[in-house]
Amino acid sequence: MSDAHEAVSIDQLHVVEIGPGCTRRDLPGQPGVRIWIVDMEPGSQWPHVDHHDRGEAYYVLAGEVIEGEARYRAGTYVSFALDSSHQPRTETGVRLIGINPVAETVGVRAP
């Protein structure tokens, strides 16, 4: 049994500017899974409609996110179906941790 692991400070990860008031930090993960942190400033909206052919899920760490007319506060887990789209926004600001399944590496076949 291996005890190999990796620990990172979220706030020290590279910040990717997605749009006005919206940033993403990519966390290290396992093949086939993308894990990220999104921070959105008060009054911001994701700059485009996100489409996820493989689905998406996130957990609201702090603040509140709005999806359509639904509001999700800290402590809420939100899961999107395969082939779904959304465009989150926030009035208060929000921090999310999200998960996306990703396509397999080119040239590697699933068992």
pLDDT given for residue 108 in this prediction: 42
User: Are the beta carbons of 71 and 64 closer than 8 angstroms?
Assistant: yes
Domain map (residue ranges) of the chain: 22-98
At residue 2, the pLDDT reads 63
**In this structure, what token pair is assigned to residue 86?**
């959304």
CATH superfamily of 22-98: Jelly Rolls (2.60.120.10)
pLDDT of residue 31: 86
Enter the DSSP assignment of 28. P
Nearest Cα neighbor of 78 from 54, 92, 105, 99 is 99
Q: What is the pLDDT along the chain (111 residues), one digit of tens a residue?
A: 567 888 899 989 999 999 999 999 999 888 889 999 999 999 999 999 988 888 899 999 999 999 999 999 999 999 999 999 999 999 999 999 999 988 654 444 443
**Distance from C-alpha of 27 to C-alpha of 7, rounded to nearest angstrom:** 10
